[in-house]
Amino acid sequence: MKHGTVVAALLLLIIAGMPVRAAEITLSEADNKCLRCHDEEFAQYDGGIHASLRRQGDAEAPACTNCHTTHRERDKPPYNTATGKPCSKCHDSIFEAYAASVHSHIQVSEKDDKDAHVLGCPDCHRAHDVKAAATENQLKDSCLGCHKDVLLVHQKWLPNARLHFEAVSCPACHAPAAQRKVDLRLYDSATQKRIREKEGVPQFESRARAIDVEGKGLNALALQSLLREFNRDGGEGKTILRGRLEVRTGVESHQLADKSKAIRDCERCHSKGSDPFQSVTISIARPDGRLLRYDAHKEVLNSTVSIESVGGFYAIGATRIKLLDTLLFFAVVGGITVPIGHMTTKWLVRKYLKRGKGQSGSGHPQNQTPSTPDDRSAPK
């Protein structure tokens, strides 16, 4: 091997092992002027989804002057509860869903606020450090931030309430008109955290497409192959899947109804062929927290091949695996018939032995009259 080839190979190994630095944010001249005084607010913005979109080349992603005016002082954040601006400039369909929801009529107040205000976008999504909606448990924590005793309330009527809180999103029940689906998320079994795509090295979609040759979504075998691919990366633990029942779109997640209209019928989910289990996706988190999803066949939830892949997500009555049902049937039947068969056999053996003793005793009569000499000499 030539000296130059060796050097080139070493350089490639060094570059491959180096962390990928995030690109700088391109800001306007007016936005850069804001940084002179508002460095703390910019630090919050820099860690949010809007800054991430800017780094990825999205010039339409908001920066300072998209939400704030440059020379007009305001003593309060520039959020308009009636129109949703500036958020509704980009998220108009979501604001319309929110405006028709129960949240648009709720008055809230902070400890440092003298006056109550209508619940708005910044109350759940924050103002400057806006994170991706799917980042970890952000939205769930936002709900529990106001509804602090909600777990205790649900435990009064909902079986396994804590498990439901982990596997079911709030809108899945509190947005009754929404369509629901199952999202199977990639997790690291050692850290118990979601697996994220590496900055500048996207692999999830390319791997999924390579396995899904026909482009019709991942079946059970393809899903197993995808997990094997991620396990070859040598993470801290094994790549596993965690299922979560949620609504299909961000718009639907804002269509929250009054709690009296929330879904409380167990049959809506815990029955064969129920609607929430007809749509399945596999997802991984992007570096900025947003989800990247790929469609999967609904059969992955109840396929024998998926016992290892989707073993951590099971809904009684809805995701039943036929093989396990068959094995359970034989286990139950065996558990009943074996003791009965044992007792029956024991009874028959005892009965047989008792009858055998009776027949043995009748072959040796004890009350026979002895014969006399006259009887022996009498002519026959």
In angstroms, rounded to a whole number, what is the distance separating the alpha carbons of residues 126 and 79? 11
The token pair that represents 300 in the structure block: 């992955």
pLDDT at 215: 93
pLDDT at 77: 59
Q: How many helices (H) and strands (E) does the chain have?
A: 16, 7
pLDDT at 80: 87
DSSP structure string for 174-189: H-TTS-EEEEEEEEET
pLDDT at 23: 58
pLDDT at 374: 52
pLDDT at 297: 95
Report the 10 Å Cβ neighbour count for 120.
21
pLDDT at 335: 83
Low-confidence spans in the chain with pLDDT less than 50: 1-2, 6-22, 376-380
pTM: 0.75
The token pair that represents 303 in the structure block: 């396929």
Report the 10 Å Cβ neighbour count for 254.
25
In angstroms, rounded to a whole number, what is the distance separating the alpha carbons of residues 330 and 333? 5
Question: 38 to each of 31, 44, 62, 78, 360, how far by Cα in Å?
Answer: 10, 10, 16, 16, 109
In angstroms, rounded to a whole number, what is the distance separating the alpha carbons of residues 136 and 116? 29
pLDDT at 324: 60
pLDDT at 380: 43
Q: Is the dihedral of CA 358, 362, 365, 367 positive or negative?
A: positive
245 and 172 Cβ atoms separated by less than 8 Å: yes
| Element at 292 (helix H, strand E) | strand 291-296
pLDDT at 233: 81
